[in-house]
Structure 1
């Protein structure tokens, strides 16, 4: 199965190891993964700030980059949600580009969506002997409906104790430009999220969007909390390596 990795800006510039983990996990299940180097931003920052024309031009570039891909997989529910929900509307007055956008939407998946629904994988054969709590990001759960897939994958990791996160449906306060424009409110939200995470007694926080995880990790570090923060792809890869060495 041929898969193209949509790395996203944040992972590409700050968390490339997350993309590497996605690729390694997909390789384990027989996927041939490529990386179109012409890909850039999905256009979400411009779109959320009201610059639709600029977002449209950025979106055209992304559509071109993945035009010949069989499947597109991303470690971000937020960027995947941008494509799935807003690309068709961006090009509603341009039939040719609307069709190209539709084809991209149909073949683009968030990482856990692809594992569970396309590859049919719920048990990756991993072992991770730690207490873990999971933060469901807003865009993945609300825009894409990705709710059970991460839990199904975590639930089959041997030795992992999954602690339910209180008020898990609450936003962490990142929200892209929201964290800049509404900094005081954003800080209050992430403080509350960090307190709820600490309440679980978890050693590890896992999620599927690096924007959320970056925001929460920053708060935890500022408070001196020794909680490891990981993308789910990293946890699965590390757990698969541990299990394979036994």
Structure 2
């Protein structure tokens, strides 16, 4: 899978999948997109309501590891226990991820390397507050217990590039993985996505998007469905 390193508008790196002609993050700013969509409107929002410990997060698309790094940073800064499960069908190779500029400090560099060096298919306690499970698989093939997660970071490639991950059946599979009051967050705000999430009885919100993008979506699973 040919990947090209690019610099986005906020100075942070992303990767361009030349086969799909699709970037891993927003060209308007990879770092600020991840912070806005997944950390602020996903993780922080969920922590503002009653929750279990550790908070369980499921990420669709480990990709560059940026979302995982930001979540790990948050866990350590706030002494918040987090169990993080991420799937990725095509892991980024070391010669590629080592070129990414996400680590602003030596401590972040160590954390970023830990995330990428962690073995696949097994749970690892990377820090006192962060446990990681990476699974090399697809959403279609992954098998996880229902009602397992407080937050889902849905960070697949865009629907026009990877439509098989945005079907009603795949969204239904994701919804089943959510605990009651669990939240699904994504950068995407397509009308069909919102209609499908509502059809799955999720309370669906259209929120302001990150810089360069008008809107994003968050959906919450009711306590009673």
After TM superposition, the score normalised by the length of structure 1 is 0.30
After TM superposition, the score normalised by the length of structure 2 is 0.32
Determine which structure has the larger strand proportion and give its number.
2
- Structure showing greater Rg: 1
